[in-house]
Amino acid sequence: MFGLFSKRRTNRVQAPATRDMVMKTVSDAGGFDFGVIWQPSLGQGTILLAGETSFSLEDIAAWRRVASTVIGVTVISTIVVSGEDPAITYAFVTFDAEKKSCDDFLTWLAKQVVQVYSPEELEIMWWPQDAESVTRHACTLWAPDSDPVFPPVAQTLVEHYDVIQCDQVYRVAFEILLSTDAAEDFVQEFEDIVSTSMLQDGEKIHFVEIVRPLDPTFVLDDAGLPFRRDGIIVLSAPSSEQVEDFTTDLVASLSPRTRLHLTRLFGRQHIGVLLAGGVPAYGWQLTSTFVK
């Protein structure tokens, strides 16, 4: 799913995957201000939404099915975070600009986006996040001790083969293949872990579920699914030793079948961190993931 990686780098680090990203703002007819991550070279824009504490897995699955049919939607991702009180699910949704200019795309998006955050078919509504909130969410993962800017820039970032240090927080990222008959069971297992784990001070779990609804290459006709699904797990702790212990304990707590579908993102930790921060650094779109 993800590309190759480089050696460790330090001192005010911005990920290359974010260098083409620009923060834009647009208001829709409902009066909501959206922060839009615009990627001109890829011709796409991404919004961040915050869910209600009452959202269930069934609510999110139903919303995803509806949102995936909205014109222009190419990727839908949801983020669940442990240790949040109240627990809130976030979603970031990427739209294809279809060769529109940035201004034309934003005008189109302002008319289109209500179908995603408040679809008529469902009694569910997500809350659009403005540019400040999008920036803050991204920096919480990539640059937790640095001034919030977009794209996020960490004062200190060291990526080893198996762990990444973002300022004074250490993180480990995994990928889990969800395009299987047991995908719902895997999602439920990780949702349970996120909501029930007894964490030590400074520990946190981010679970990201990514679906690509419109790429016909990944339509799984035999499974009846109109999209490909992948999952990302990011574990965080205040030290490298603690995050390794945390990782060992979490993997040991998983069912044997789930462990078989879990892959540590050796050499590619930063991609998982960006995705957990709501940054659309999709590995299948990257030609270079080297941190400089």
Q: Is residue 7 part of a domain?
A: no
pLDDT at 218: 46
Q: What is the pLDDT of residues 65-116, one digit of tens each?
A: 899 889 999 999 999 888 666 667 999 999 999 999 999 999 999 999 999 9
Token pair for residue 143? 């640059």
So what's the pLDDT on residue 21?
A: 96
Q: Domain residues for 260?
A: 16-285
Residues of the chain with pLDDT > 70, as a percent, come to 86
Q: What is the CATH number of the domain that holds 269?
A: 3.40.462
234-243 pLDDT, tens digit per residue, is 999 999 999 9
157, part of any domain: yes
Residue 40's pLDDT is 96
Percent helix / strand / coil, the chain, rounded to 5: 30, 25, 40
Quote the longest CA-to-CA distance of the chain.
50
Q: How many domains does the chain have?
A: 1
The string of pLDDT tens digits covering residues 153-203 is: 998 889 887 899 999 999 999 998 876 666 677 777 787 777 777 788 889
Report yes or no: 291 and 154 within 8 Å, Cβ to Cβ.
no
**What pLDDT is recorded for position 224?**
53
Residue 1 has pLDDT above 60, yes or no: no
Buried b (16+ CB within 10 A) or exposed e, 46-74: bbbbbbeeebeeebbebbbbebbebebbb
- Residue 219 confidence (pLDDT): 47
| Residue 222 pLDDT level (bands cut at 50, 70, 90) | very low
* Under 8 Å between Cβ of 15 and 151: yes
Residue that wins the pLDDT comparison between 222 and 138:
138
- 221 domain-assigned: yes
Distance of CA 189 to the CA centre of its chain: 18
57 in a domain, yes or no? yes
**Residue at 26 is within a domain:** yes
Count of C-beta atoms within a 10 Å radius of residue 18: 20
Residue at 132 is within a domain: yes
Q: Per the domain annotation, does 290 fall within a domain?
A: no
Output the CA torsion sign for 233, 238, 242, 246: negative
Q: The tokens of 117 are what?
A: 């955050």
Q: Looking at residues 136-143, what average pLDDT do you find?
A: 94
6 CB-near residues (< 8 Å, 6+ apart) = 159, 289, 290, 291, 292
Residue 191, domain member (yes or no): yes
Give the DSSP letter of residue 50: E
Query: What average pLDDT does the segment 272-286 reach?
Result: 91
pLDDT band at 12 (very low <50, low <70, confident <90, very high): low
Extract the tokens encoding 28: 């829709």
How far is the C-alpha of 102 from the C-alpha of 56, rounded, in Å?
Answer: 35
